[in-house]
Structure 1
Amino acid sequence: MKQCHDIIFVISLSLIVLFCYNLTASALKSDDIRNHLGTRTPYRFKYNKDDNKICFQNCKDDKIWMVLRHGTRLPNDKDIVGMNTILKQLKIDILLKNQNGKGPLSKEQLDWFENWNNNTPLAKERYLTIEGQDEMILLAERMQKRFPNAIKKKYNNETFLFRYTATQRAQQSARYFTIGLFDSNKFQHIQFEPALEVDTTLRFYKHCAKWQKQVKKNPDTYKEVTLFGQSKVMNDTLLAVTKKLGLDKTLTLDQVVLMYRVCGYETSWHKYMKSPWCFGFDEKTIKVLEYFEDLKKYWVDGYGYTQRAACMIMKNMFHTMSSNGPSATFLFAHSGTILKLLTHLQLYKPQCPLLADAVDEGRPWRTSDIDCFASNIAFVLFKCNDGDKILTLHQEKIVKLPMCDTELCPMADLEKQFHNTIHNCNFTDICSID
């Protein structure tokens, strides 16, 4: 009974959120620092707000396969400890240096610092937040409106498949997504696939020994990130942030990166509150920190190294579309999954590798846009008079795959382009260390 009350409360909360949503989900100006918070950027600033049914002449949506990054979450244990130690001390220093109007911060900004506190328990590190719950509910509602034939309003365990990784944030994201799809009285009857401790589909990279050795734990992977962290551009940024907060002693890279991360977290958690840790940044400095994160993600999760193991999740998509299984498949995973799949699809590839010598302002590889909280990739199978076709969406926006001539890509062409993914993707062969 308590579970039913909790669900009703969440649904009521989501209605309140919907009432106010237009105030916060409207497009931000490009120079707004909230556009550049990396993988902690709020989804409400990035998704496609047009939820009208997506139609193509002489075609009907038949199946959908979708992989989603979990919704907005709490920080990891390292960031929680940093908030309780490093940032609490910095807060005191900032208030002392700016007291009596002597510093650059306004009275309103100082009030935000005065009232700032962190009460996140370590035991709940990386847990899904209320905002993350709302993201999943609203995302599900929009997708159902766009593809009403593939995503039925009535639940049936033969037409729906829900699967998540063995983490609280992914499991809860899946649960709240189903609240957006179905009536609350159906919620307790929904079947979820059991979470696997070793999941070579949804979290293939975690269990891929070759990737762990050659990429994740390889010092060469972080060469450009390290160089950029020591660059003049970054040193100038540290000085600028220090000055903007009215401090005397130049902040370290670790301190500023922590401020950047917490600025992102708190902006994502709260629609109507400000994070004082954003006050140290302007358009120029926030973009430097964004590039610092993008560099790391590019070399660890993107085009810096071969992400061959990503064939595992792509192969799952092809198998789902060609089988007689569920018409709606929803998989809940993580940032690493989304970025590696985007790389496997050849999306957002920079013309040149991202390097430490200069910030590539025009790069398409920008995690604030492509890997914010609740990021998602969907493939929709359309049954058309002239054959089966696949539509691809990212952040609920239609995207044209580089290997396709049109947005609605013939299934046969896609299968030809991804022949190796379908037929030569063996986890043991790919991930075993010679």
Structure 2
Amino acid sequence: MKFLIMTAMCFCVKTVLTRDCYWNTGCKYKYFSSKTPYEIVRGDIRDSIVKPEGCETVSVWSIMRHGKRNPSTRYAKDIKYILKHYKDYIVSSYEIGNSSLCAQDIENIKNWKIETSLLDEPNEISNEGYRELFDIGSRIKETFPELLSKLQENEYIFTPGFGSRLEASAKAFVEGLNDHKLVITKVYGDYTFVAPYSTCGKYQVDVRNSPDLYHEAEVYEKTEEYLNMRERVANNLGLNFVPSSDNITAMYDLCRYTWNGLQRKPSPWCAVFTVEDLKILEYVGDLRHYYRNSYGATKFSSVLGQLPMADLLRNFQLAKCGKGKKIVSYFTHATMMDMLIVVFNLYKDPTPLQGSYRNVNRKYRSTFLSTFGSNLIAVLNRCRKAHTYDFTVSFYWNEKPLTEICNKGTCSWQEFEDIFKPFLNATVDICEFKWSNID
């Protein structure tokens, strides 16, 4: 089953200058692996929703990654190093004529001020991330106003996994539904449906904490293509040394963490890189996700990803009988979103991603799979057929129809059960023991 990525074509007219400048480039490259703002890749459930004639929605199930967050402690430290040791150097290099950057790009970097919370509150959800989840909830409420009005306590479930950013994301989503009486159900220790990998001992040992976890990404960072990128950055900035991979990553993080998707406001730090540089750095993110959470860890992802899908089937079976919830929403991490893709065999390339070679036409793109706020939404419709009812289930990824499942994203009830019933057999037996050191 293939899930081809459809990206918007950007047609623009660029002012003719003596050199390429970032500040006035009409079509900026804005795909930053899993750190891409949700606004850049999302659809709109209000426009995407399939409304079969004679049908009504009886249940909505969703699972979504938290909104945009701040960098972790380690990466925040690297960013602080860049701000302390590189920022003034970049400006002075331009002033003495060594830099290839444009005057306005340098001025934008020089005048740029960091929000203190970005580095002082590691891993916490940002204001933009909070708004991302609020807006998703708001659009869902607008799409299903009758179903989601005046919800009673037994008609919904909102459950975040571990971490304050997931709890904040759930809070933002519920606020977007505009019903202040709704209660968020927190779970402690049992993340079977929302993040089963977090307590899966064997996965944590064999994959997440393996010393070889990022081997392919490390191989790629030794390729001629990657090394040339580092030298290109040094030359463009007028540096008399080549930045380390860690320093390159820190500048890249400044670019992508401060790129405001909601305001459509690019970060001045992205001027450090060419479009080709950004594509190379995006591929590093692809390799890390591929082997940590996705097809490179199929032994675990293909099983653990089935657990929330079994929950989806159970909820819709109950809703079909008039006993289910009107809405169920789980809030998770990028790992879970990557695993769901494996379950449905989507975005899969004929050969595994490799550190020795970057396939520019690859299907697997973490930018479109596990970006901030990424989500899977399933909608159960009840349709009147003569003297009885029929049911359909429609799927959406990032609020766009998941057309590779069934008929352009909409399954008959029989098709839905045929696909999902095997997931009921999924267990955590593969984990062997419970991992208690949840990070």
Fold agreement, TM-score > 0.5? yes
What SS is found at the alignment partner of 1:158? helix
1:29: which partner in 2?
A: 10
Distance 1:320 1:152 in 2: 16
Distance 1:164 1:38 in 2: 23
Q: CA deviation at 1:217?
A: 2.5
Contact 1:309 1:431 in 2 (8 A): no
1:420: which partner in 2?
A: 422
Deviations 1:157-205 (CA, angstroms, capped at 9, x unpaired): 22221111232211111112122212xxx42x22111232442321211
Structure 1 letter corresponding to 2:136: L
* Alignment gaps of 5+ in structure 1: 1-25
Structure 2 letter corresponding to 1:391: S
Q: CA deviation at 1:392?
A: 0.7
What SS is found at the alignment partner of 2:395? strand
1:228: which partner in 2?
A: 220
The answer as to 2:73 corresponding to 1:72 is no
Q: CA deviation at 1:302?
A: 0.9
Aligned equivalent of 1:129, options 123, 126, 130 = 126
Aligned equivalent of 1:397, options 400, 403, 406 = 400
Distance 2:169 2:187 in 1: 13
Deviations 1:370-404 (CA, angstroms, capped at 9, x unpaired): 221111101111223373221110010001345x3
Distance 1:137 1:121 in 2: 20
Structure 1 letter corresponding to 2:221: G
* Alignment gaps of 5+ in structure 2: 1-6, 12-25, 435-439
The answer as to 2:46 corresponding to 1:51 is yes
Q: CA deviation at 1:340?
A: 0.8
Deviations 1:78-124 (CA, angstroms, capped at 9, x unpaired): 12111212342111221221115542222322222223344237662
Change (3 A) 1:61 1:272: closer
Q: CA deviation at 1:142?
A: 1.6
Change (3 A) 1:363 1:33: farther
Change (3 A) 1:364 1:35: farther
Distance 1:270 1:49 in 2: 14
Aligned equivalent of 1:112, options 102, 108, 111 = 108
Contact 1:242 1:250 in 2 (8 A): yes
The answer as to 2:186 corresponding to 1:194 is yes
The answer as to 2:177 corresponding to 1:181 is yes
Distance 2:343 2:275 in 1: 31
Distance 1:94 1:167 in 2: 37
1:432: which partner in 2?
A: 432
Contact 1:54 1:146 in 2 (8 A): no
Map residues 333-412 of structure 1 onto 2, 5 A cutoff. 333-384=332-383, 385=385, 387-402=390-405, 404-412=406-414
Contact 1:302 1:340 in 2 (8 A): yes
Aligned equivalent of 1:162, options 158, 163, 166 = 158
Distance 1:276 1:88 in 2: 17
Distance 2:104 2:367 in 1: 27
Contact 1:72 1:129 in 2 (8 A): yes
Q: CA deviation at 1:50?
A: 6.4
Contact 1:32 1:283 in 2 (8 A): no
What SS is found at the alignment partner of 1:86? helix
Structure 1 letter corresponding to 2:228: D
**Runs of 4+ with deviation above 6 angstroms:** none
Distance 1:332 1:139 in 2: 12
Structure 1 letter corresponding to 2:230: L
Higher share in helix: 1
Percentage of matched positions with identical amino acids: 24
Q: Over the residues paired in the alignment, what is the CA RMSD in angstroms?
A: 2.4
Distance 2:99 2:53 in 1: 62
2:273: which partner in 1?
A: 281
